[in-house]
Amino acid sequence: MVRLSYLFILMILFVSGLAFSADQTGSIRGMILDRDFDAPLPGVKITILETEQTVESTDEGNYLISDVAAGAYTLVFHKDGYNRVVKADVVVVSGMLRDLDISLSGEFTQMEEFIVQDIQFGGGTEAALLDLRMESPVLLDSISADLMSRAGASDAAGALNLVTGATVQDGKYATIRGLPDRYVNSQINSVRLPTADADKRAVQLDQFPADIIESIQVSKTFTPDQQGDASGGAVNLITRSIPEQFSLSIGGEYTYNTSVRDSDGSFLDYDESGFDFFGSSEQDRAIEPLGTDWNGAVGPRENSAPQDYKFSVSGGGSWNLDEDFRIGAFGSMYYKRESFFTDDKIDDKYWVENPGDGMSPQYNDGTPRQGKFKTSLYDIAQSRESLKWSSLGALGIEYEDHTLGFMYMKTKVVDDVRTLAEDTRGKQHYFPGYDYNRPGDVNPDEAPYLRSETLEYTERTTETIQFNGTHRLFDPDWEIGDMLSFSNPELDWTFAVSGAELDQPDKRQFGSVWYPASPETLNPGFPPWIPPYTIPGKPAEFRQLKADGGARLGNLQRIWKNIQEDSDQLFINLKMPFTQWSDNEGYFKFGFFNDELTREYTQDSFSNLNDPNNSFAGDWNDSWSEVFPDEYHEMQDPLIDVNYDGSQKIRAFYYMVDMPLDSKLNLIGGLRHEYTDLSTIIEPEANATWIPPGSAGSVIINPGDADVFFSQDDTLPSIGFEYDLFEEVKIRGSYSETVARQTFKELTPVKQQDYLGGDVFVGNPELTMSALENYDLRCDFTPYEGSLISASYFFKDVTDPIEYVQRNAGITYTTAVNYPEGEISGWEFEIRQELGNFWEDLAGLTAGANATFISSEVTLPDDEADDFDEPNIQAPTRKRDMTNAPEHLYNLFLTYDLDHIGFEDTNVGLFYTVRGDTLAAGAGQSNGNYIPDVYEKQFGTLNFTLSHKLNKNMKLKFQAKNLLDPEIDTVYRSDYIDGDVTKSSYTKGMAFSVSVTANF
């Protein structure tokens, strides 16, 4: 995926550079006093343990350590005749000056020695990240590796739920303050990765294991040095840094999931299911010759469940090769196999046929009046086997004022999902008490039993190579009168070559309709001309459930889909630090950004067209899919697929300033100029059709008919302030303008289907980008070290928000449109406290809580709003909630260090998260019937962890996840129906795990 020519050029740049680190530099300064005499203390040695930088305090007791890379450090203060002081988790922010004053007491004072253990570097602790939050010029929320571990988060998606105002959509995509993936960009070490998702331009966070993450930093305000679509926020995953000393960690874990282990032999698999150790299919999934009977299972079978486990290994260190030359390396490998099973899931489709009536099942392929129709009230059994592995390698070099770095990371996620969906409740709805063993005179064509079986094997791979460097340039010795005095400029750059691939070979969907046996009947005839006669009965049988409900396609679809997305990204930043008239430090910053991305989308679909072997005699408890591979069924190509090539180019440059007006007030502002070019070029098959804008129906698509070229230039301002009201209280506010972009799929005006007969999506070439105005205000109060009380308010005004609606052009389809306007606002509250500060008996107990309350709405376009006023609908709607914006989010946690009650090296943690009701899909209509809004109902998750250090090197951990095992429901909800009506429901089961980690 990553092109070798780029790698060769980058390697030359790397080895010819002077040195590495992804971070820029800052400084630490302060005054050292004699505690007993309150006088300046000269000659104190101050050493940074991680970098071995050492300085001495002056005669006035002052000290200054310059050129310190951004991160968290441990400082040692030592002078003969005085007790040594060690200060851990001292955070240095790039371009900023950290003040740290210390008092030393004489050796005659009785004092326990402070021993530093388990030092974490680069912001991997909560204390370090709290300091980083207070020093950052933007609204920054973070989660540390330590808290991720205590909370039992296995990947970045799980960890993000712990951040105030953050949640995860579909288990993969970041949502910040109610704004979904379109308004949030996710990054690895500030590099935005490509994604092979068919529908979104969003990185799937579940592919990044927590083992490789040092911290997750969520910036909630836009500044010009960020990408222009960071409207809701920018999620930056910081990978583990190179340790100062050699270290090696090896861990293993076994997991027991109640839903899987209690399946009692009902876990679903199939003959060719599974994958090898590295995540490749065990079977050849190549396309076979057309016009032949293809091999392979078409439905799942019951079997025993697999075992869930994971292991990881990581290690690295750094070494001084010369006085001014240091080199380091770090490597990590992670491997996990997990499974999921449910047999209690339902997925129902309802609508309102007549205004004022209750909801009734949706029907298709006919109507109740015609005496022939089908419903969609499915009971579902589903299993999934997953494999996740990742590898990461990093190299770093430091030489004088220069650093260079290299990182390679590859992740792979394999999912093998088997689904068995059966609709028997449709018959029960229309014929209560129906017994298929005694069907009587019930019409078999009215709501017959349906069975749909799906086998879906998918491989997702992401790969990135990142080169970056930081260079402290010459001292310009520049001054602007007595106003500004400039110090050494700092240049940092990053060049990344990345790729993502989704490979879904041979997805199989099989559908069948079951008709019960009809008994032998006596026809009285018409004596004397026609004597009585016997009409023979018919045995029970399965018939084809065709994908499109029509006569041409068969009941088996096999689809090969591949998406390849590649990205080349370069950004350069130049920071010019200065000291202003009152000796406060600020900076000017300039930068350039370029991201060139390409996407190749290919899909090949096949079906048993006009299959003469179109039925199977058997009872409902029999399985046609089990014998189908032994029958003869020719596979053909309907030639209706559409492939496309997409391109997105984003170029930007910016300028900004962080200007302290005095010791209390800072202004941060600037402009970002961003240029967007988007295009898609279509490659249709012979029978592919499209719906031209404004057309009443589908027409055959020719090459070039539906190609799209879109471009837009934006100037995005940002202005903010920081005000230190008191030493412990900081107030921040900002105003900014940002954008949200369309996806390739949303711009392409062709009929797109995940499978033959599936929901149809048609892109809109007239779709425009959304524009946002963002207002933010936050107050942080840190009464004690390690504690925080915070309140925030945000408001976002959205012009041309992109939403999905249903349209009709001979077929009912979904498309993307720009709504006129929308807005979202809310409050965030957060508190973290070490309770030992209030009551000594609670030492070691830390409590934290955060809550987000969100209000959102969008204004419907006039034509869509008018549709809801029609006589057959009568559900007036002009505004509704914004999709994927929860009404509220809660997080509560307790961690307890049991050392204080006699259990040495033992910690427990309890974590509870709640996501409130969330609009999943807006109201619509189908065939003249009203379909209300669909909401995801509130649910909570409770996790527990217990860890104990067995000895110097070994650590034992027990985790219990999802202890409440709530039902996860979606419901139809509207003012025009009586109460909620369940659409879907399932449970995940509880998971218990035991792990052992060895550190050397």
- Which of the four pLDDT bands, split at 50, 70 and 90, describes residue 116? very low
Tokens of 551: 């006569």
Mean pLDDT value across residues 297-312: 92
Domains and CATH numbers, the chain: 4-104 (2.60.40.1120), 140-242 (2.170.130.10), 253-287+312-999 (2.40.170.20)
Query: What pLDDT is attached to residue 176?
Result: 82
Give me the pLDDT at residue 742, please: 92
**Count of all residues that appear for the chain in the document:** 1000
Burial of 991 (0-12, 13-18, 19+ CB in 10 A): buried
Composition of the chain by helix, strand, coil, percent to 5 = 10, 55, 35
Query: Over the stretch 536-545, which tens digit does the pLDDT of each residue have?
Result: 778 999 999 9
CB 749 within 8 A of CB 690: yes
Q: Is 847 exposed, middle or buried (0-12, 13-18, 19+ CB in 10 A)?
A: middle
Q: Say what the pLDDT of residue 123 is.
A: 43
Work out the average pLDDT over 337-342. 94
Return the higher-pLDDT residue of 929 and 99.
929
Q: How far apart are CA 775 and CA 770, in angstroms?
A: 17
What's the farthest any 2 CA atoms get from each other in the chain?
131
Residues 225-263 pLDDT 10s:
999 998 888 888 888 878 778 889 999 999 999 999 888
**What's the average model confidence in pLDDT over 654-660?**
95
Tell me the pTM.
0.83
State pLDDT tens for residues 383-397: 999 999 999 999 999
Residues 896-949: tens digit of each pLDDT: 888 877 787 888 989 999 999 999 888 988 888 999 999 999 999 999 999 998
Q: Give the pLDDT mean for 148-168.
A: 76
* Lowest-confidence pick of 348-362, 696-710, 857-871: 696-710
CA distance 952 to 379: 52
Nearest to 854 by CA among 830, 881, 827, 880: 827
Q: What is the mean pLDDT of residues 133-159?
A: 71
Q: CA 994 to CA 251: how far, in whole Å? A: 11
User: Mean per-residue pLDDT for 656-683?
Assistant: 94
Residue 754 has pLDDT above 90, yes or no: no
Can you give the pLDDT at residue 10? 45
Q: Helical H runs in 552-639?
A: 624-627
Average pLDDT taken over every residue of the chain = 85
> Going by DSSP bridges, is the β-strand pair 449-472/490-515 parallel, antiparallel, or unpaired?
antiparallel
**Mean pLDDT, rounded, for 825-832:** 91
pLDDT digit string, tens, across residues 604-649: 999 998 899 999 999 999 999 999 999 999 999 988 888 999 999 9
Contact 22, 188 (CB under 8 A): no
Say whether pLDDT at 105 is over 80.
no
pLDDT surpassing 70 at residue 79:
yes
Confidence of residue 522 (pLDDT cuts 50, 70, 90): confident
- pLDDT at 36 (0 to 100): 61
pLDDT tops 60 at residue 107: no
DSSP H or E run through 260? helix 258-261
Pick from 33-37, 136-140, 244-248, 843-847: least confident? 136-140
User: How many whole angstroms separate alpha carbon 17 and alpha carbon 20?
Assistant: 8
β-bridge pairing 102-104 and 556-580: unpaired
Please report the pLDDT score of residue 21 as a whole number.
Answer: 37
In DSSP terms, which residues pair with 442 in a beta bridge? none
